[in-house]
Amino acid sequence: MSRQALLDNILAKQSFLCVGLDTDINRIPAHLGDMEDPIFEFNKQIIDKTADLVIAYKPNTAFYEALGPAGMQSLKKTIDYIPDDILVIADAKRGDIGNTSRLYARSFFDYYDADALTVAPYMGEDSVGPFLEYPDRWIIILGLTSNAGSQDFQQLELKSGEKVHEAVLKRCAEYGSADNTMFVIGATQADYIAEIRKIVPDHFFLVPGVGAQGGSLTAVAEYGLNDKVGLIVNSSRGIIYASDGEDFADAARLKAQALQSEMAQILSTREFV
């Protein structure tokens, strides 16, 4: 999906919401347990009830991998089921030497046919390069993450005066362009988003951490929006586990709708729509 197509979707739906499909077999409603593929059935109902409100879905691959090959079948079916005009982000945080990253690209872009893949930056340029050879696909590189452990290395100060995550953003922005590269910037790090926006003014940010992890949508939007929106905000647990009953998909829709309404308001205030 091109950057223009993504922006067009955002403006048409008045939404920059991504729903994280962190579908845990131990947390889905009991009545799905007897179905042939409970994980896919859960996702299918969530997608049916939220597709008009979102511009991206983000299956977190760990939840599928935990179930072995059968889980990967559920992942494949889920991605195939997502409407074509919605961005599919495989949240897998991969990255390895070039010949290995090439295989990860084959997995996520050829086999699973995701539009975007989250990537860990520690191994540098040749670990990222193979993903950029796929036209109209995206890599989303970890910049400043939403968890407590982001203090351990991402916030260390370099001799140059920059923080490690700032050097990562600057250097990784050179690997590709704003047309094929986004960055993960945690919503719990709203204080930093204004600074980060100066370093990478044009790139889209994928922002996790709104909801269960405590980040604020208003703060993220205030500092993170750029002149082409430049934000995809993800909520996972806060939406998909809104209810553990048979009404789970309707409950998820209500949560998604609340976020989408806030987003429509923000986009209107900022005169995008």
Query: Annotated catalytic sites, by residue?
Result: 93
Residue 211 amino acid letter: G
Q: Binding to a copy of itself by residue 136, rule CB under 8 A? A: no
Which 7-66 positions form the footprint of a copy of itself (CB under 8 A)? 22, 24, 60, 62-63, 65-66
Q: Is the CB of residue 142 less than 8 Å from the CB of residue 184?
A: yes
How big is the site for a copy of itself, counted in residues (CB under 8 A)? 61
Rounded (10°) CA dihedral 181, 186, 189, 194: 30
Q: Is 112 in the site for a copy of itself (CB under 8 A)?
A: yes
- Which helix (DSSP H) or strand (DSSP E) does residue 89 occupy? strand 87-94
Part in contact with a copy of itself (CB under 8 A); list of ranges 11-19, 167-175, 218-226, 263-271 = 167-175
Query: Which positions ≥6 away from 135 have C-beta within 8 Å?
Result: none
How far is residue 199's CA from residue 8's CA, in Å, rounded to a whole number? 25
| Per-residue x/- track, 206-235, a copy of itself (CB under 8 A) | -------x----------------------
* Of the residues 5, 33, 111, 250, which one makes contact with a copy of itself according to CB under 8 A: 111
- Report which DSSP code applies to 156: P
Contact range with a copy of itself by CB under 8 A, out of 40-48, 143-151, 224-232, 265-273: 143-151
d(Cα 75, Cα 37) in Å, to the nearest integer? 11
If the CB atoms of residues 100 and 257 are measured against a copy of itself, the closer one turns out to be: 100
Task: Kindly indicate which of the ranges 161-169, 199-207, 223-231, 239-247 contains the residues binding a copy of itself, using the contact rule CB under 8 A.
Answer: 161-169
Shortest distance (Å) from residue 70 CB to a copy of itself: 7
**Which conformational region is residue 136 in: left (phi greater than 0), alpha (psi within -120 to 50 degrees), or beta?**
left
| Residue where the block lists tokens 């998820």 | 252
Q: How far is the CB of 90 from a copy of itself (least distance, A)?
A: 11
Is there a contact between 255 and 242 (Cβ–Cβ < 8 Å)? yes
- Using CB under 8 A as the binding rule, whether residue 203 contacts a copy of itself is answered as no
CB of 104 or CB of 138, closer to a copy of itself: 104
- For a copy of itself, give the closer residue by CB, 44 or 102: 102
Question: At its nearest, how many Å lie between a copy of itself and the CB of residue 241?
Answer: 12
Q: Any residues with CB less than 8 A from the CB of 15 and at least 6 apart, and which?
A: 53, 54, 55, 260, 263, 264
Residue 202 to residue 225: CA distance in whole angstroms: 10
* 43 touches 21 (CB < 8 A): yes
Among 38, 59, 95, 230, binds a copy of itself (CB under 8 A): 95
Instruction: Return the closest-CA partner of residue 65 out of 20, 24, 115, 117.
Output: 24
The residues of the shown chain that bind a copy of itself, judged by CB under 8 A, are: 22, 24, 60, 62-63, 65-70, 72-73, 76, 91, 93-101, 103-104, 106-107, 110-112, 120-128, 142, 145-154, 156-159, 161, 164, 167-168, 171, 213
